[in-house]
Amino acid sequence: MDEDIRIFKSKQNIRRAFIELLHEKSFNKITIQDIVDKALTGRSTFYNHYMDKYDLLEQLVEQHTRAFRTLIEKRYQATRPQEVRRLIEEILNSIVMHRDEIGTLLEVHLPNADLRKNMEDILYQSSLHYLSDTVKEPSVPLDYIASLYSANVITLISWTIKNGKNPDTIELADKLQSFVFGVVQQG
């Protein structure tokens, strides 16, 4: 870890406090004073790390967006069904590990900080790129299939955040993906 442990802990406390506050009230009603009071830190410490609450939100969303993009890229590099299944498990494990933060951020929708939209875009673009490379004569428009796929995965993620990981839901999502991708490849 490149960061000084005190800096890391300060940022972690601020982030936790911010997420807790998002459970209590809407983003627009949260003040810097609310954040520093809940984090038990000073305003100067907050401003050493963030320009304002928008910057804090944007950094949190960007952190989770980057992590999600990396996992999805690994998923599309996988070629064997067992490997794909393992990577889906890894993605869901990561989401479950950060479920409170991710679940909360999925509900905040600002132009420069919308985790749900970022995840949907990553899923859509990744699946569209994959389908464009693998399907030569699609029987169904590929953008429709990519939209269907991203909606399916977002539903799985949202459900998993609320209810925990469930092997049956993972298997169903995997079967739906295989079915949809299989139909389009049959031409």
CATH of domain 1-50: 1.10.10
Q: How far is CA 163 from CA 13, 79, 89, 180, in A?
A: 26, 29, 15, 25
The SS3 assignment for 52 reads: coil
* Domain boundaries, given as residue ranges, for the chain: 1-50, 58-186
Alpha helices by DSSP H, 2-141: 5-24, 32-39, 43-49, 53-77, 81-97, 99-105, 115-134
Q: What is the pLDDT of residue 186?
A: 64
Examine the pLDDT at 22 and tell me if it is beyond 70. Answer: yes
Architecture of domain 58-186: Orthogonal Bundle (1.10)
Averaged confidence pLDDT in the chain: 91
Two structure tokens written together for 27: 């983003």
Q: What is the pLDDT of residue 21?
A: 98
pTM of the model: 0.90
pLDDT digits (tens, 9 = 90+) for 105-158: 999 999 999 999 999 999 999 999 988 988 888 888 999 999 999 999 999 999
Q: Percent of the chain, pLDDT > 70?
A: 96
Examine the pLDDT at 80 and tell me if it is beyond 80. Answer: no
| 57/133: higher pLDDT | 57
Examine the pLDDT at 180 and tell me if it is beyond 90. Answer: no
- Burial group, residue 26, by CB count within 10 angstroms (0-12, 13-18, 19+): exposed
